[in-house]
Amino acid sequence: MDVGKRIDMLDYLRGFALMGIILVNIIPLLSVKLPSPHTIEASYWRFLYLFVEGRFYTIFTFLFGVGFYIFITRANAKGRNGYVLFLRRIIALFIMGLVHVQFHPGEALTVYAICGLFILPFYKANRVVNLVFGTAMLIVMGIFSFKLFMVIPLMLLGIAAGQFHVFEELSKKRNKVILFTSIMFGLSILGLIYQYQYAPGVFRNGSEIDFQAMQKFLSIGISIGPIISAFYVGLLMLLLQSSFFQKLLSPLKSYGRMALTNYISQTALIYLAGNMLNLFNNITYIQSLYLCLTIYIIQFIFSTIWLHFFRYGPLEWIWRMVTYLEIPPLRKRTKTISCD
């Protein structure tokens, strides 16, 4: 592993995951009302819980495991104590999460920080052990729809992916990625067909929520979520083999490089819009989508411009400062032209 080279694919995937996460998070934050049946609002509600909910946080969690392995490995390769640095890193993450959770109940940062302690012993575990144990544990948790408890096995699979160097030299692994993506696509189709059979009318008798039907539908979605997430990851890995898609999706890479900043600022922008436009309890599902699209544009532009001048995102810079107990240079060096 090149200890100095950033793996662009991981940034693309983080940005992609963030795009899905906001679509779901905005619903409780603005108290979006459940739609009436047989409307475009109800169709979008089903779309969210078929293709988004439980799909993108899964990718984000998996990537935390990948990042965990890469971070400690590169720190150790530079002669530093990767474990100590990682502990500082998750303490800082936990503190940020404590602040964030005051505005966004159910946010992920505090959970990631706590789970980071549990996965520390698995850094030196055999990669096959991490793969098998993580997969088995994920299947069990998925069967019982234990969404919160799926975090650790997803992180273990991320560690295993790091150990197998999955995201390095991808051009040499194209056939394997195609096979993996094809299998996940087939399983995703079967899973979605099964879940869709239980898709409820959002309301029963026009006024009463059918909680039983809704719970069955959502539970199946949690169970099959990692499979669909795996397909999304495989598909993006294939698309990004093309220079055309690399350029087309380049804002996604900047978005993902500033994942911490953008994740927290998503909440800030949602609340800002909610207060300025009086959206709390007064916005539809489709309108929440329009707001998310607006936030995408704002964050894509901001991330691209910011990283043109600076090395790290604002919160990433603070996170790095706490991790290493030093002030890293923020501005990029400008090249000077000699007049001699």
- The Cα–Cα gap between 301 and 254 comes to 9
Angle at 72 between CA 74 and CA 306, to 5 degrees: 70
47 and 221 in contact (C-beta within 8 Å)?
no
pLDDT of residue 336: 44
Q: Is residue 340 part of a domain?
A: no
For the chain, the helix, strand and coil percentages under 3-state DSSP, each to the nearest 5: 75, 0, 25
The CB-side HSE value for 155 (13 A sphere, CA atoms) comes to 23
45 and 288 in contact (C-beta within 8 Å)?
no
- The Cα–Cα gap between 292 and 308 comes to 24
pLDDT of residue 4: 58
- Taking residue 189's Cβ as centre, other Cβ atoms within 10 Å add up to 13
- Map residue 260 onto helix, strand or coil: helix
Tokens describing residue 133:
């144990």
Dihedral angle over CA of 309, 312, 316, 319, nearest 10: -110
From 207, 201, 221, 208, select the one nearest 42 (Cα to Cα).
Answer: 201
Q: Is residue 2 part of a domain?
A: no
Q: Is residue 339 part of a domain?
A: no
pLDDT of residue 36: 81
Q: Is residue 247 part of a domain?
A: yes
- The Cα–Cα gap between 42 and 239 comes to 31
Flag residues of the chain having pLDDT under 50: 204-207, 336-340
pLDDT of residue 337: 43
Q: Is residue 248 part of a domain?
A: yes
Q: Is residue 320 part of a domain?
A: yes
Tokens describing residue 27:
């619903």
DSSP 33-60: PPPPTTSHHHHHHHHHHHHTTTTHHHHH
Domain that holds residue 237: 8-324
The string of pLDDT tens digits covering residues 256-299 is 999 999 999 999 999 999 999 999 999 999 999 999 999 999 99
Q: Is residue 235 part of a domain?
A: yes
Q: Is residue 181 part of a domain?
A: yes
pLDDT of residue 261: 98
Tokens describing residue 10:
């991981």
Please tell me the total count of domains within the chain.
1
From 131, 299, 154, select the one nearest 233 (Cα to Cα).
Answer: 154
- The Cα–Cα gap between 12 and 256 comes to 6
From 201, 170, 181, 280, select the one nearest 39 (Cα to Cα).
Answer: 201
